[in-house]
Chain A
Amino acid sequence: MSPINYVYLAALLFTIGASGVLVRRNAIVVFMSIELMLNAANLTLVAFSRMHGNLDGQVMAFFVMVVAAAEVVVGLAIIVMLYRSRHSASVDDASLMKL
């Protein structure tokens, strides 16, 4: 199987993630969609690594995973605080920073 198909899959996953971020209101779902986009990016990195025959992309993918793990910790903490303060996980409720 040609590695280019992984790139198509990654594009599909990225698009699903992006639309999830844009259309969903639940902070948890938005968060999961972001994870989906990150993993789509990881998939492309690994796929290109395979295509070019070196390991640079795979190394990069590990970095992304580490960053994503850190992001999950901070992001979930924020979502929990949001839920505690207003009993809702809707991102539209947190729209106070405007004129």
Chain B
Amino acid sequence: MIGLLVGAPLLGAAVLLCGGRRLDRAGHWLACLLSGASFVIGVLFFLDMLGRSGDDRSLHSHLWSWVPVEGFQADVAFQLDQLSMTFVLLITGVGTLIHIYSVGYMEHDPRRRRFFGYLNLFLAAMLLLVLADNYLLLYVGWEGVGLASYLLIGFWQDKPSAAAAAKKAFLVNRVGDAGLAIAIFLMFTTFGSFAFAPVLSSATDASEGKLTAVGLMLLLAACGKSAQVPLQSWLGDAMEGPTPVSALIHAATMVTAGVYLITRSGAIFNAAPDAQTVVVVVGAVTLLFGAIVGCAKDDIKKALAGSTMSQIGYMILAAGLGPIGYAFAIMHLVTHGFFKAGLFLGAGSVMHGMNDEVNMRHYGGLRKHMPVTFVTFGLGYLAIIGFPGLSGFFSKDQIIEAAFAKGGTQGWILGAVTLLGAAITAYYMTRVMAMTFFGEKRWKPDAEGNEPHPHESPRSMTIPMVVLAFGSVFAGGLFKFNESFVNWLEPVTQFEHGHSPLSATAVTSATVVALVIGVGAAWLQYGRRTVPSVAPRGSLLTRAARRDLLQDDFNHIVLVNGGTYLTRSLVYADNKVVDGAVNGTAATFGGLSGRLRRLQNGFARSYAVSMFGGAAVLIAATLLMRAV
């Protein structure tokens, strides 16, 4: 029965991708239907789960033995517990809304059927990832997500930039995948198994060094999928894909996989404090990195991409805090799923109305022309900056509090970083909001000279946005009410109350102050003053941030050039040293035999000389030996 959750979208992908042109007219509705069916099944499981007590909620379903070999047992088996359930509802719920939105968004695309096939494949892979009961099956889903993201980012493959972005995403993800593979190998050698239950329950038996190694490899995997420093470079370029894909990647699937992996492997990280520290550092660095990049981008989607990176940084940071943070990481993940999907769909709606213009400097004053988009985007905006009472406020506030509760100097540093991040978030989101919806019109005709006529998007696009806006507003409060979300996850992820050196009120006030500073600064800069429609030169930091803080330059210089030099020197060494030794030996013996061959001249006399010479030497030697 759990298999149906994965099976429905997988069936959709198979039918749509193999079905051919006859499905062009209705195929997208089939995809929406199957994705919706998966959601309905998920809800049914959820209600069923609510009827049971906390520790009794985990369901298990063994489908078949995949590799039944003695000493190596790989099963296709699913595990549906509270953590997986949360993800299933997020993936299928937000995923279905994005499916419906895409019906309108991709209306004029000749390859729409294929697009929906890929979307279904994406959902199926992601569901497999969160439902697997062992790391090997999780790895299958993990790779499936990588494949689907490659296909979707490069969906408009006739654009060279899209094709390149897809390749980049795939390659960067491979680095993370290698980490996950190594982590699984290590688990198998340490625990003799890679199913969650035996590995996680016996995690404390292994030596700390091994656990740290496993933890760091898992973190590398998470960095790849979740676009954390140092494997963050693919996320910005991934905006080349159609906007619903960005929404899907950033809200419901893909980037959340890393957070899931770390939370799921919590038992390993709890027993390896060094690995945890690295996780926290990666989260903190990425949180600032993404936020700074988000401040400088003029492309609306890239600004949102920077924001995603930063928000995932919050989640990774929270997950690195251990049992005081796991529940908040997942909570932020869910609320982020709502508002980030809403923001991306809103951005898509704006682009839809503006002839696919993405430069925010050519927007301005859109609030009158696109009221629904404005309101839903605005609610998403308030949610992400953590406006008191909305989703983001509750989840982010909890993370900041947990960061302080880490204790000691570390706690203070992390708390300060998260607060700074909150202020920058408020800054760049206000900037996006002000440049897009407020101020005067700075519209420019597109490449073919068509003046933009902004208009509200069709129903199929606005309804998902409205639903997501509701989620952005109320989800946080609902989760926070009675600590229901924390209690819900507690049997899986454990939970400890952190002891913050600051009172909850003090943290909340600090968060609100940070928020006000950020919003105020952005409003002074972009709201009250006119925004130039050509980007000013900007300070050194701005220019660096526009280039994604030189991530690509760094990768190019260190990895591409370094790799080129390495391979060149290896080829040189192979040609000169290895081949040189082999060829040199051959040449030496060849030359030597050429010389020796001349002795065989066929003249009986010369053979006789050698015989006499030999005999003389033998006799001389014999006599010499006698004498001595």
User: Which residues of A line the B interface, CB within 8 A?
Assistant: 18, 21-23, 25, 30, 91-92, 94-99
Contacts and interface: CB of A to CB of B under 8 A. Distances in A.
Nearest to B605: A22
B22 interface: no
Contact of B612 (A18, A23, A91, A94): A18
Nearest to B600: A98
Given A22-B609, A96-B602, A98-B602, 7 more contacts: A18-B612, A23-B605, A30-B604, A95-B601, A95-B602, A95-B604, A98-B600
Contacts of A21: 605, 608
B533 to A, nearest CB: 87
A92 B605 CA distance: 8
Contacts of B597: 99
Contacts of B603: 91-92, 95
Nearest to A19: B612
Tell which of A25, A94, A98 has the most Cβ of chain B within 10 Å: A98
B602 A22 contact: no
Nearest to B616: A18
A91 B602 contact: no
Contacts of A18: 612
Contacts of B608: 21-22
B593 to A, nearest CB: 10
A22 B612 contact: yes
24 contacts: A18-B612, A21-B605, A21-B608, A22-B605, A22-B608, A22-B609, A22-B612, A23-B605, A25-B605, A30-B604, A91-B604, A91-B605, A92-B603, A92-B605, A95-B601, A95-B602, A95-B603, A95-B604, A96-B602, A97-B602, A98-B600, A98-B602, A99-B597, A99-B600
Q: Which 9 A-B pairs have the closest CB atoms?
A: A95-B602, A98-B602, A91-B604, A98-B600, A95-B603, A21-B608, A99-B597, A97-B602, A22-B605
Q: Is chain B's binding surface mostly helix, strand, loop or mixed? A: helix
B605 A98 contact: no
A96 B602 CA distance: 6
Interface string B568-606: 000000000000000000000000000001001111110
Contacts of B609: 22
A94 to B, nearest CB: 7
Nearest to A98: B602
B616 to A, nearest CB: 10
Interface string B124-162: 000000000000000000000000000000000000000
Nearest to B611: A21
Nearest to A21: B608
Interface in B608-628: 608-609, 612
Contacts of A30: 604
Tell which of B600, B602, B604 has the most Cβ of chain A within 10 Å: B604
A96 B600 CA distance: 11
A22 to B, nearest CB: 6
Nearest to A23: B605
B604 A98 contact: no
Contacts of A92: 603, 605
B620 to A, nearest CB: 15
Contacts of A25: 605
A18 B601 CA distance: 20
A22 B604 CA distance: 9
Contacts of A91: 603-605
Contacts of B600: 98-99
B102 to A, nearest CB: 80
Contacts of B604: 30, 91, 94-95
Nearest to A97: B602
Tell which of B597, B601, B602, B609 has the most Cβ of chain A within 10 Å: B602
Contacts of A95: 601-604
Nearest to B609: A22
Contacts of B601: 95, 98
Contacts of A94: 604
Nearest to B606: A22
A98 B609 CA distance: 17
A96 B612 CA distance: 22
A98 B605 CA distance: 14
Nearest to B615: A18
A98 B603 CA distance: 9
Nearest to A25: B605
A91 B609 CA distance: 14
B600 to A, nearest CB: 5
Contacts of A99: 597, 600
A92 B602 CA distance: 8
A91 B602 CA distance: 10
A91 B597 CA distance: 20
A97 B601 CA distance: 8
Contacts of B602: 95-98
A18 B612 CA distance: 8
Nearest to A95: B602
B614 to A, nearest CB: 13
Nearest to B601: A98
Nearest to A94: B604
B603 to A, nearest CB: 5
A23 to B, nearest CB: 8
Contacts of A22: 605, 608-609, 612
B48 to A, nearest CB: 91
A22 B609 CA distance: 7
A42 to B, nearest CB: 18
Contacts of A96: 602
B268 to A, nearest CB: 72
B413 to A, nearest CB: 83
Contacts of A98: 600-602
A99 to B, nearest CB: 6
Interface string B397-418: 0000000000000000000000
A23 B605 CA distance: 7
Nearest to A34: B608
A62 B145 CA distance: 101
B615 to A, nearest CB: 10
Tell which of A21, A30, A96 has the most Cβ of chain B within 10 Å: A21
Contacts of B612: 18, 22
A44 to B, nearest CB: 14
Contacts of B605: 21-23, 25, 91-92
B606 to A, nearest CB: 9
Contacts of A23: 605
A23 B608 CA distance: 10
A97 B607 CA distance: 12
B257 to A, nearest CB: 72
